[in-house]
Amino acid sequence: MVVRTEPVADWGDLITRLPCSGSVAWIRRGDGLAGWGEVARISIPAGEDRFTAGEKWLTEFFDGADVTDEVGLPGCGPVAFGSFTFDPTSDGSVLVVPSVVIGRHAGRSWLTTIGGQHMFRQPVLPTRAPAELRWHDGSLTAPQWERAVSAAVARIQAGDLSKVVLARDLHAVASEEIDARVLLARLAARYPDCWTFSCAGLVGATPELYIRREGAAVSSLVLAGTTRRGSSDAEDARLGAALLASAKDVEEHRYAVADVRRALSPFCGRLDIDAEPSLLRLANVQHLATHVTGRLAATQLPGAGGVLGEHASALALAAALHPTAAVGGTPTGAAMELIRELEGMDRGRYAAPVGWVDANGNGEWGIALRSAELDGRRARLFAGCGIVADSDPEAELAEAQNKFRAMQDALQD
pLDDT score of 309:
41
- Dist. CA 99–CA 42, nearest whole Å: 15
- Lowest-confidence range among 1-15, 265-279, 306-320, 396-410? 306-320
Q: Is the pLDDT of residue 177 over 80?
A: yes
What confidence score (pLDDT) does residue 81 get?
Answer: 98
pLDDT band of residue 388 (cuts 50, 70, 90) is: very high
Q: Which pLDDT score, from 0 to 100, does residue 301 have?
A: 45
pLDDT at 121: 83
CA 199 to chain centre: 10
Mean pLDDT computed over 25-34: 97
Clarify whether 56 is annotated catalytic: no
Distance CA 281, CA 228 (A): 9
The answer for residues whose C-beta is within 8 angstroms of residue 284's C-beta and 6 or more apart is 228, 229, 402, 403, 405, 406
Threshold 0.85, pTM exceeds: yes
Average pLDDT, the chain: 94
Domain boundaries, the chain: 2-123+132-412
What pLDDT shows up at residue 304?
Answer: 43
User: Is residue 42's pLDDT more than 90?
Assistant: yes
**Catalytic residue (choose from 55, 208, 364, 373):** 208
- State yes or no: pLDDT of 110 exceeds 60: yes
What local confidence, expressed as pLDDT, does residue 119 receive? Answer: 80
Q: What is the pLDDT of residue 306?
A: 42
CB distance 108 to 71 below 8 Å: yes
pLDDT at 305: 44
Catalytic residue of the set 163, 252, 364, 403: 163
Question: What pLDDT is attached to residue 308?
Answer: 39
Active site residue 176: no
Residue pLDDT, tens place only, 312-365 = 999 999 999 999 888 999 999 999 999 999 999 999 999 999 999 999 999 999
Give the other-Cβ count within 10 Å of 363's Cβ.
Answer: 27
State the pLDDT confidence band at 117, using cuts at 50, 70 and 90: confident
- Fold of the 2-123+132-412 domain: Anthranilate synthase (3.60.120)
Mean pLDDT of 118-140: 92
Q: What pLDDT is stored for residue 118 in this prediction?
A: 79
